[in-house]
Amino acid sequence: MVKPSSELEKAALARLKERNVTIEEIAELVYDLQTPYLEGLTMEYCLHNVEAVIRKREIQNAILTGIELDVLAEEGKLASPLQEIIANDEGLFGVDEILALSIVNVYGSIGLTNFGYLDKLKPKVINRLDSVKEGEGINTFLDDIVGAIAAAAASRIAHANPEEGTAGVN
Ligand code: MG
C-alpha cells in the first residue's frame, strides 16, 4: 500500500533527527543565503520554508534513501564495492550529489546555484557533517541532502519574493 505523504514526512523528519540534524540548523543556512536579498528576513520564515520543502514527497523520498544508505554503510551492510565507496565518501562517486539534485530540482535553477555554493563553502552544519572522522559515522549522503534542502528552501523564498531579487541572479 502506498504510504500517505504525511507518514513519509514524519519518517523523514525522524531520520534527520536521528542523524542529529535539526531543521533549525538547516533554516540557519537558508537565512544566511537569503538575508542579503530580502530585507526583514526572519529565522521563523526560513524555518517555515524548510518545513514546506520537507512536506514534498520527492524530497521525503530523497531524504529517506540517502540516510538509509549512510546508515547501512555505517553498519557495514552494503555489498562491495559500494560499501567501501560510500564509507570512504569517494570523490568520484557522485550519486550523493545526484540524489541531492532531485531535491534541488523541485524549485528550479536558483536552487542549483545555491546548492553549488553550499557544496563548495560547506558552512555550519554541512561542515560538521562533512568533517566526521573515520569510525565516527558516515554522512556521505546526508551532507548533500542538508545542503539541498537549504538550497531548495532558499529558492522557495526567492520565488515567493521576486521583486526583492534572488541569490545567484543579482
Ligand atoms: Mg556527499
Q: DSSP letter string over 82-139?
A: HHHHHHTT-TTT-HHHHHHHHHHGGG-HHHHHHHHHHHHH--HHHHHHHTPPTTS---
Any domain includes 112: yes
Closest by CA position to 139, among listed 155, 151, 122, 154: 122
Total domain count, the chain: 1
Which pTM does this prediction carry? 0.93
Grid coordinates representing 18? 536521528
In-domain check, residue 170 = no
pLDDT of residue 2: 77
DSSP 56: S
Each residue's pLDDT, cut to its tens digit, for the chain (170 residues) gives 778 779 999 999 999 999 999 999 999 999 999 999 999 999 999 999 999 999 999 999 999 999 999 999 999 999 999 999 999 999 999 999 999 999 999 988 889 999 999 999 999 999 999 999 888 999 999 999 999 999 999 999 999 888 775 544 43
| Contact between residue 78 and residue 72 where contact means Cβ atoms under 8 Å apart | yes
Give the structural domain span for 16.
7-164
CA of 130 to the centre of ligand 1 (A): 8
- What is the tens place of the pLDDT at every residue in 105-146? 998 888 999 999 999 999 999 999 999 988 899 999 999 999
State which residues have CB under 5 angstroms from ligand 1, the bound ion.
96, 140, 143-144
Residue type, 131: S
169, part of any domain: no
* Residue 18 placed within a domain: yes
Helix (H, G, I), strand (E, B) or coil at 161: coil
Please report whether residue 2 resides in a domain: no
The domain that holds 95 is classified in CATH as: 1.10.3760.10
Output the CA 20–ligand 1 centroid distance in Å: 16
161 Cα–ligand 1 center, Å: 30
